[in-house]
Each structure stands twice: as structure tokens, then as C-alpha cells.
């Protein structure tokens, strides 16, 4: 049977163009990576990689095997997550995936309120990632309940909007924009901003609002960062303006570490939604959602 880890190495090599970089991505030495690749070529009975001074690239057979390998790895990952789901259910654990903003600024209080109301509530295992990754995890069965912040709610998952978050433009007090009363959307769209990575609800909400204003985001980002904390910290240095969740910068605005600058047009908001697969959420997920609804005064 072909070694799945060898297939992971082959796909990493296809992505990076270097055996050394592929090994580094997987946490193995170049020597171990070379041995793993030779073993895979022996199993397949063909040369999979051509090496040169400029790097490594897949042969035609290598490209075929790499494509099949991605399918095998996806199936293996789904299997692992399904087994994990069975294990977590036997332990009575609720698997939650949440956008980074929700995980950091909202979910802790919700879980605490749930535990206060029901001391026997199951434990919560949290995966914090951007909204696109949360949706993907719920789709493949890797989470019982997801919390996302994006204007594009998935149509193939059940969802309920539980709150709304605002996206704001913030700068350091030393930045020239700190003295401005308002900004034109076209100026924002043409300015290099500190942004979250692609796939985040924050980034998508800003892009959708600027598109609706007829001024699509055209400037390359000054920086693309993986969390709201990193975005606000970078903005506070005066490096560049940032677009970020109002929840994430409330303390910074109150202390004066950051300054909010209003933008003409519609206020940029996005829904905070719970998502799940199937007709109804898991019983434990339903109980958590009921506590959240009571906490926020929904319904």
C-alpha cells in the first residue's frame, strides 16, 4: 500500500517546487524526504520527480500520482475527522469551529454563561480559523457547530444570524488620517491597507462594501495578516491604516491607541451566524445556541 505521508510529500513538492522546502513543510529532513520519495517511486514503479539546479518538478506520471494523492489524502482526512467525531461524541464533547474574532471576543462569554446555567454541560473543543475554513470544517463533519462572520452565508448549511459586527477603518494617532473627519470610499479602495487574509469574513465584508459603492479595492495590501490582533497591533505602529472588526479594537479605541476614521456611505456590517450540517444542530449545540439567544436577547 502506498504511504500517505509520501503522497503528502509529493503534493508539497508540487506546491513548493523544492524537495527541501517540501520536507520543511512536513517537518522532515531533506535526507528523510529523499528516502520517502524514492520509496514512493519504487511503489509506483516510475520516476515521479525530475531534479535540476533550478529545483524539482513532477514528471507526467508524477502529476497523475499527485492528483490521485490529493484525493486519497482528502478521503483519509475525512476518515480521521469522522473517527474523531465518534470519539468526541462518546466523551460528550461539543466540537465548535469559530472565526477568530468570535473565538476571541464572543465565544468565551457564551460558553461561561452556558456552564453557569448548566454545570453538567459537555466540554467544548474549539478550532479557531477564518470563516471560509470554519465553513469547510462544518461541511466535512469536522465540527458540530460553526460561528462565522461573512456577508456570504453558505446555502448548503443551516444557519441562524445571532448578531452583527461592524468593520471599521482605524489608524495610529500619528497617521495623517487621524485628523480627517471622513474618508471617500475611492480613497480607501486605492490605499494600501493592513488587512486580514483572503477567506476571512472581515476582508470579504470590506470588499463587498467597496464593490457596492462602485469603488472596488484596487490597491495591494500593505500587509495581509492572519488575525485581528495582528492587524490592530500593526496599525497601532503607524505602518498603515487597517480595516478590522469593531469588536477587536474596542479597547484600543477607548484607550486612544487607535483612532477610528469614518468612511462615507453605508456602515460596513456583517452577520455573525451559527452554521451546522443537517436539519437540526446536535442537542448540545442547540442548548448552547439557546443560551446565546438569551444572552443577546434574541427571539
Query: Domains of the chain by range and CATH?
Result: 4-86 (1.10.10.10), 92-162+271-296 (3.40.190.10), 164-269 (3.40.190.290)
Question: What's the pLDDT at 86?
Answer: 56
Question: What's the pLDDT at 116?
Answer: 92
Question: What's the pLDDT at 236?
Answer: 95
Query: Is 4 exposed, middle or buried, given 0-12, 13-18 or 19+ CB atoms closer than 10 A?
Result: middle
User: What is the rounded average pLDDT for all residues in the chain?
Assistant: 90
Residue 89 has pLDDT above 70, yes or no: no
pTM value?
Answer: 0.66
The 10s digit of each residue's pLDDT in 98-130 is 999 999 999 999 999 999 998 888 889 999 999
The band of 52, judged by pLDDT with boundaries at 50, 70 and 90, is confident
| Own/partner long-range contacts of 214-221 (Cβ < 8 Å, ≥24 apart) | 215/185, 215/186, 215/188, 215/189, 216/189, 217/189, 218/189, 218/190, 219/189, 219/190, 219/191, 219/192, 219/193, 220/192, 221/192, 221/193, 221/194, 221/195
Instruction: Round to whole Å and give the CA distance between 143 and 97.
Output: 6
The band of 245, judged by pLDDT with boundaries at 50, 70 and 90, is very high
Lowest mean pLDDT among 61-70, 83-92, 134-143: 83-92
Question: What's the pLDDT at 6?
Answer: 87
Amino acid at each position: 500500500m502506498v504511504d500517505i505521508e509520501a503522497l503528502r510529500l509529493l503534493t508539497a513538492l508540487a506546491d513548493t517546487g523544492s524537495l527541501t522546502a517540501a520536507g520543511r513543510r512536513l517537518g522532515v529532513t531533506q535526507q528523510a524526504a529523499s528516502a520517502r520519495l524514492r520509496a514512493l517511486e519504487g511503489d509506483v514503479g516510475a520516476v515521479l520527480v525530475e531534479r535540476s539546479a533550478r529545483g524539482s518538478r513532477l514528471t507526467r506520471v508524477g502529476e497523475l500520482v499527485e492528483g490521485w494523492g490529493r484525493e486519497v489524502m482528502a478521503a483519509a482526512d475525512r476518515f480521521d475527522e469522522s473517527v474523531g467525531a465518534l470519539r468526541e461524541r462518546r466523551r460528550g464533547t461539543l466540537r465548535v469551529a469559530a472565526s477568530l474574532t468570535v473565538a476571541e471576543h464572543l465565544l468565551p462569554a457564551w460558553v461561561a454563561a452556558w456552564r453557569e446555567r448548566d454545570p453538567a454541560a459537555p466540554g467544548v473543543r474549539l478550532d479557531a480559523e477564518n470563516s471560509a475554513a470554519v465553513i469547510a470544517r462544518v461541511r466535512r463533519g469536522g465540527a458540530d457547530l460553526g460561528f462565522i462572520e461573512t456577508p456570504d452565508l453558505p446555502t448548503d448549511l443551516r444557519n441562524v444570524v445571532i448578531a452583527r459586527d461592524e468593520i471599521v477603518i482605524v489608524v495610529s494617532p500619528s497617521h495623517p488620517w487621524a485628523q480627517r473627519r471622513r474618508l471617500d470610499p475611492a480613497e480607501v479602495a486605492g490605499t494600501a491597507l493592513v488587512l486580514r487574509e483572503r477567506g476571512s469574513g472581515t476582508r470579504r465584508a470590506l470588499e463587498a462594501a467597496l464593490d457596492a459603492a462602485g469603488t472596488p479595492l484596487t490597491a495591494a495590501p500593505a500587509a495581509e495578516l492572519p488575525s485581528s490582533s495582528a492587524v490592530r497591533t500593526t496599525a497601532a505602529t503607524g505602518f498603515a491604516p487597517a480595516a478590522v472588526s469593531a469588536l477587536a479594537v474596542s479597547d484600543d479605541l477607548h484607550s486612544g491607541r487607535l483612532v477610528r476614521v469614518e468612511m462615507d456611505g453605508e456602515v460596513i456590517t456583517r452577520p455573525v451566524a451559527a452554521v451546522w450540517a443537517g436539519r437540526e444542530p446536535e442537542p448540545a449545540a442547540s442548548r448552547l445556541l439557546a443560551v446565546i439567544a438569551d444572552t443577546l436577547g434574541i427571539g
